[in-house]
Structure 1
């Protein structure tokens, strides 16, 4: 985990991304997706640093996917530092952010609250 990379504007975990060795992030101006990224453009238009700061319950752009949507919701409830702490603890416990391609242990959930519980515990069978 490269903690200083933190959480992207959209809620994805740059700190755990397998692309972080050559990606400068969405604020660098060098991101290859910067022109079409709906979440980056929207947050820039609103003058906010991250989607989780916005008061809307938005599901546009990448927030239509459960992982970034839930990461944003987690930060709204518990703060970015708590999310980073949980992600770091989970990584140390063997939870994988990306396996082959872009899917990992945080993907495949259909229920937001179950994913929040998994983020907190790193355990699929938590109480």
Structure 2
């Protein structure tokens, strides 16, 4: 069966950095409050309680289009956990499947999927 088992409950983390760092690099950091699981064609991804996540890792100039906490937030949390349990390409596919399962519009899901694939390829080549 595909889908979620449990609820994605996130707690915002306090940021103790100096005020000027918070303005320049605004924090979007959460802690998963309760463990949950996402089942998909690649198997299951276990998201443990206590796992830190930054939501969707969107470059700052693009955040006005895709904020870190959009309708794809739960899929982004799954992606963060999937990266620790799978190769990057599989984790990216899981991200796409989770977004589509969550009802994220296809144009947005495929745009975000393309962005994470491109970032993954660049990260592998650059190091």
TM-score by length of 1: 0.30
Query: Using CA pairs below 8 Å that are at least 6 residues apart, which structure has the higher relative contact order?
Result: 1
* The structure with more radius of gyration: 2
Q: Which has the higher strand share?
A: 2
